[in-house]
Amino acid sequence: VCRKAAERDLANVRVWRMDTAYAVEHLLPPDKVAQFHFLFPDPWPKRRHHRRRTMTVEFATAAHRALEAEGLLHIATDHTDYFQWIERITHSLFVPEPAPASWPCTTFEKKFTDRGLTIHRLLLRKISPVR
């Protein structure tokens, strides 16, 4: 990521080497992030490992807090159960939007689509409280 940002002379890229959930919850200021891209997170499919998943109710709440009004959360995964879990825990904070046709394709996604596997996509818009 650092190399690619430097090659493109991008000044608006920040890379932190730390737990994502901690960074989103404790380091990002409220209402300042335009978009999050949550692409192919580890699904930790065994039930006893679910506590290790990045997308939790706490993470979704922290992402919601960090997103600006009308901010977006892009999600892509090949794991159906994890996708359904994400839909359940985000429904009170976000509203689904139609996914754009020009969705970014990762190397990981290319490997899965080449094998004929289904990719689940979700574009969520922050529900802002009425003031």
Q: Are 26 and 64 in contact (CB under 8 A)?
A: no
CA-nearest of 51, 44, 24 to 35 is 24
Catalytic: which of 42, 78, 81, 114?
42
State yes or no: is 19 an active-site residue.
no
> Distances from the Cα of 23 to the Cαs of 54, 62, 99, in angstroms?
12, 9, 26
DSSP character at residue 18: S
Residue 103: both structure tokens together? 């969705």
Task: Please list the active-site residues.
Answer: 42
